[in-house]
């Protein structure tokens, strides 16, 4: 059974600081995704990582994938308040169904 573990579950940061969210998964996966969810809203796609060594960046967020270690990271650079949200990683395997990590609730304080 595919398991996706995400940590930390809660993250409180000061504005301007850097931090990394980790996502481990238990079996070979087709693709790895990072999503953002604001309270009461659905999921917003941030990144899709397809291959080992893939790195994608958008603004203050950068995601990477190490398929050998079955690990993806989401790095936050110089955090700002607008980044406060819950971030989920998810992996797909077999017939495209998607399994989610528990989510990281990020709060960026001024």
Partner 1 sequence: GAVVSQHPSRVICKSGTSVKIECRSLDFQATTMFWYRQFPKQSLMLMATSNEGSKATYEQGVEKDKFLINHASLTLSTLTVTSAHPEDSSFYICSASPRVPVGLFGQGTRLTVV
Binding site for partner 1 (CB under 8 A): 30-31, 33, 35, 40-43, 45, 48, 50, 88, 90, 92, 95-103, 105
Two tokens, residue 92: 């797909």
Question: For partner 1, which is the closer residue by CB, 25 or 88?
Answer: 88
Question: For partner 1, which is the closer residue by CB, 42 or 110?
Answer: 42
Question: For partner 1, which is the closer residue by CB, 48 or 62?
Answer: 48
Cis ω on the peptide bond leading into residue 87 (within 30° of 0)? Answer: no
Is 75 exposed, middle or buried, given 0-12, 13-18 or 19+ CB atoms closer than 10 A? Answer: middle
CB of 85 to partner 1, least distance (A): 13
Rounded CA-CA distance 54/67 in Å is: 9
Two tokens, residue 71: 């690990």
CB of 42 to partner 1, least distance (A): 4
């Amino acid at each position: 059974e595919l398991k996706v573990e995400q940590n930390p579950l809660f993250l409180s940061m000061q504005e301007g600081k850097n931090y990394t969210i980790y996502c481990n998964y238990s079996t070979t996966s087709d693709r790895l995704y990072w999503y953002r969810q604001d309270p009461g809203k659905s999921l917003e796609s941030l990144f899709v990582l397809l291959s080992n060594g893939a790195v994608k960046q958008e603004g203050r967020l950068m995601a990477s994938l190490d398929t050998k270690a079955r690990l993806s990271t989401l790095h936050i650079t110089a955090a700002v308040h607008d980044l406060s949200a819950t971030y989920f990683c998810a992996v797909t395997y077999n017939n495209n169904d998607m399994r989610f990590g528990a989510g990281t609730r990020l709060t960026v304080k001024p």
